[in-house]
Every structure is written in C-alpha cells, then in structure tokens.
A and B are shown apart, each in its own frame.
Chain A
C-alpha cells in the first residue's frame, strides 16, 4: 500500500466519495425500479387472495398461483366485494385492496380505530370471506390470507413470511402445512377460539377438524406459535362482522 492511501485526508475523501457513489446508485436503482416492483407486489397480492379462495393452479403437491397475466382479470371475476370494517361500520370500498395491514396495526396501537379489509369472493355459488392478516415469526414478519365461510370455518389459507429459516419455519408456505387448515373452524361452541399450531398432537393427518388444532412443523416451534398468535389476535377482530351477518 502506498503512503498516499494512508493519509487521513485521503481516507475521509474516499469515504465521502464512496457514500455518494453507492448512495446515488442505490437510490437510482430503487426509484427507477419502484413502479415495476409495486406492480409485481400488487399482482402478488391478487394471486395470494385468489389462492386462499381456491383459485389457483396447484398440482399434486406444490402451491402454484394463477399466472400474473390472468390475475387481474380473475380477481375482478371472483372477488365480488371489497369491504372495510371499522368498529361496527361496514363500508364497501374498492380501495380496500390497497390498505396496508402493517400500517393499520401500528396506527391501532396509537389508539386509532383500525380499518380491517375483507374481500368477499364468490366461486361456484359459494361465498368466501378473505381476511389479510399479519404477525410475527421467529426472525421477521409473517402474513396470511385466510378464506372463511360465514361460520368462520377456514376454506383455504395462504401463508408467507419475510425471513423464516429455510427448511424449517419457511415451510409454513408449503402445501402440507397450509392445506391442513382447510375445514378447521375458528369457533368453538359458539365463541372464538382460533386455530392452534400444536406440537405433539396425535392427529398428524389432521382428520379431526373440530379440535381447533393443526399439526406443527418439526423444528419450527416459534414460527408455529407466531402463526397461532396471528390467527387468534387478528381474526378475532372479524368476529363481530360475522355475527352481524348471521343476525341479518
């Protein structure tokens, strides 16, 4: 190394130049690609919602979405209503789709009343209510789209995560885990109970659909607990909507 690169002035100038160049490069990439990324994320959300209500291209064992080209068209075909629930008020809002669940959770913590998006879909004469929910896994955020019928029995679910361990917690987005939720009821004897991801339950094939339990993934205890907690705390807020639905 020459002496030139050892001087303090050079070091400081180099650091400044580096920050400007790298910062500029990152800012440029991020802003140039933003519209495309946003569009991809929107399509993914539509794919996720459709997946939960059973509109997907699944083969025997893996979870496959409808293609991105078809997603917008299928979304407007199958999703009949987009609702926003706030307190006891229910309003129809075609922008419900754009509600950011994470932001709503934060603002609810600050004491504001939370806006809960709910998508109503219709497929082969059957009505699906799909709720987007969000919670915490082991390392980072986990989220899900849960499709229910009017009795809060799960009809389909799609789980995803930001950074769970590959091969362990990341397996919540595998079919063998997600499919177990189908047919499980969130209610028990008329009150809300949620669904627990249970370790050591004696029902690995998940034949008992009335136990409010699905089989956990080995080696993913904390992610599984996060899923249970998310389902419980988030879907509970939808209970009053379903109760009103029945009374009317």
Chain B
C-alpha cells in the first residue's frame, strides 16, 4: 500500500486476521449474537459500527490529553452516546426511512464493547490519524465475522440470503426442500451464533498455532 506506511497498514490488516476483535480480543460478542440471524441486519450493523468507531476514535484521540483519567470511561460513554443520538436525530429529520431501519441498532451500538474497548486500548494513547485507521480496521474485522456468522445462520436457519429464497420454498417444497431438506430452526437461535463463532475461532487457531494461549 503506497498510501499508508507499513505500520499504518498493519492497523487495518491486523484486526482482519490475527488480532480480530471478535475471535481474538473477544470484544463485541453480544451484538454478534443479537443481530446475526439475518445477513442484512449484520451488514447494516457493520456499516454503522464502522462510522461510529471511525469518528469516535478520532474524537477521543483529539481529547486524549485533556480527559481526566479518573472519569475517562464515563467521558468515552458520553462521547459515543452523544454521537449516536445526534446521528439518529439527523437521520430522523432528513432520511426518515433509513432511520427506521437503523433505530433498532442505536442501543446496540452504544453498548457495543468494541467501541469502548478500542477507545480505551488505542485512541487514548495514539494520534487521530492512527486512531482513525485503528477504528476502521477493527470495525472491518468485526464486520467480517458478523457477516460470516449471519451468512451461515440465515442460509441454514431460514434457507434465505438477504431475504432471497436461495434454497427454494420450504412450504411449497421446491428446490432442495423437494428432496426432504429441512431448515434447521436452531440456527436462528442466539446460542448457535456462539457455536459458529467458536468454529471460526477453532479454524483460525488451527491454521495459526501462534494464536493459542499456553495455559
């Protein structure tokens, strides 16, 4: 990448693989369970987190030298909550349809521990540009896992992808359902998200044994 130095490029690349926020840092698990029953919701959530974490990291990074350390967590929480609420209000006024789609996610974004985790672990100690890249990288890493999990849950649980009936119609018995295939209703339950994430963690660690903690 000519645009970014090697160190900066690593901020984007690492969270996509060996420092993934979900599978390695174990951040953002709650939302990975909550909104991966459907691919569309996972994509919307990933994009929202990309915006909030990118901008939030920059804001916190700019404020890093004036935030009193005793109340830094509260300050971080206020920054992200204010940011999300203002964006929500602006969308309600100027893009009402879009805001209807996103309103469900507002609460999930504010309480997403990836956001607080990256503020605390990175933005408080780094400059705005690097913090911005870190925010983008981590939200991409988060988004990738969310989309993989949602892909399998929607495909196996409902037989659809983005709402399209890719496997045929389960009620009219067309497509693969004609051969006796059934949707696995358990896939759309939250526990299955945990199991799918577990499988991803397993695959990732068996490909790169350096990631396995020794204890």
Contacts and interface: CB of A to CB of B under 8 A. Distances in A.
Given A5-B66, A37-B93, A44-B96, A26 B85 contact: yes
B171 A205 contact: yes
Interface in A1-30: 1-2, 5-6, 10-11, 14-15, 18, 22, 25-26, 29-30
A218 B36 CA distance: 15
A43 B34 CA distance: 31
Interface of A: 1-2, 5-6, 10-11, 14-15, 18, 22, 25-26, 29-30, 33, 36-37, 40, 43-44, 61, 68, 162-168, 170, 204-205, 218-219
Interface stretch (B10-18, B68-76, B134-142): B68-76
A92 B168 CA distance: 50
User: Secondary structure of the B side of the interface?
Assistant: helix
B107 interface: yes
Contact of A14 (B36, B71, B82): B71
B68 A6 contact: yes
B93 A26 contact: no
B133 interface: no
A27 B163 CA distance: 39
B82 A5 contact: no
B67 interface: yes
Contacts of A165: 34-35, 37
Contacts of B75: 14, 18
Interface string B15-46: 00000000000000000001111100100010
B78 A168 contact: no
A204 B177 CA distance: 15
Q: Looking at B37, B67, B68, B185, which has the most chain A CB atoms within 10 Å of its CB? A: B68
B195 interface: no
B86 A36 contact: no
5 contacts: A26-B82, A61-B163, A166-B34, A218-B185, A219-B189
Contacts of B38: 166-167
Given A25-B86, A26-B86, A167 B96 contact: no
A172 to B, nearest CB: 12
Contacts, number: 88
B41 A166 contact: yes
B206 interface: no
Interface residues of B, number: 36
Contact of A167 (B67, B92, B171, B188): B188
Contacts of A37: 89, 92-93
User: Secondary structure of the A side of the interface?
Assistant: helix
B103 interface: yes
Given A29-B86, A167-B154, A14 B104 contact: no
B104 A29 contact: no
B90 interface: yes
Interface string B51-80: 000000000000001111111001100100
A22 B82 contact: yes
Nearest to A171: B38
B89 A166 contact: no
A100 to B, nearest CB: 18
Contact of B71 (A2, A11, A167): A11
A204 B67 CA distance: 58
Contacts of B94: 36
Interface in B148-187: 154, 163, 171, 185
Contact of A10 (B68, B86, B90, B163): B68
Nearest to A163: B104
A164 B68 contact: no
B63 to A, nearest CB: 10
Given A5-B67, A29-B86, A170 B93 contact: no
A44 B100 CA distance: 11
B70 A6 contact: yes
Contacts of A6: 68-70
Question: 9 closest pairs, A vs B, by CB?
Answer: A167-B37, A167-B38, A166-B41, A36-B93, A11-B68, A33-B93, A40-B96, A219-B188, A166-B35
A99 to B, nearest CB: 22
A43 B37 CA distance: 31
